[in-house]
Copies of this chain bind each other. A is one copy, B any other.
């Protein structure tokens, strides 16, 4: 299974992505898009998409961007992320574009820019930076 196929297979196992209605967009080595359609089921109290839902797709995007670059048998866990939320998450689609900034043997730095799309326009709504950790041969952790 090549690395992009591994991303698709692993993504399909993330129950949360299905629950949120999130879909994979374009994927390439080191870069993964995840798309979310705003709806009341993923909202916060003002009707915007909840910061937690935005964070969920932004985190998965860096996770899979990182996974796409590691050898088969190596898994990826998020050690930490920070997300800055710069505009309300409203629009026709929310799109998280994750990419690896600096791959490393143990730790990888990755970043997701999240955009809201409306009427053919894109607006930056959030930026996430994350430390991803590579795990090898730990029982129960396999992508």
Residues of A bordering B, CB below 8 Å: 10-11, 13-16, 18-20, 39-47, 50-53, 55-57, 59-60, 63, 75, 77-87, 101-102, 104, 106-107, 109, 111, 124, 127, 129, 131, 133, 140-143
Contact check, B102 vs A75: say whether CB atoms are below 8 A apart.
Answer: no
Copy total for this chain: 4
CB of A70 to closest CB in B, whole Å: 14
A127 to B107, CA, bound (A): 14
Q: Report yes or no: B47 in contact with A140, Cβ–Cβ below 8 A.
A: yes
Q: Roughly how many angstroms separate A77 CA and B84 CA in the complex, as a whole number?
A: 11
Report chain B residues within 8 Å CB of A82.
80-83, 129
Least CB distance from A30 to B in Å reads 15
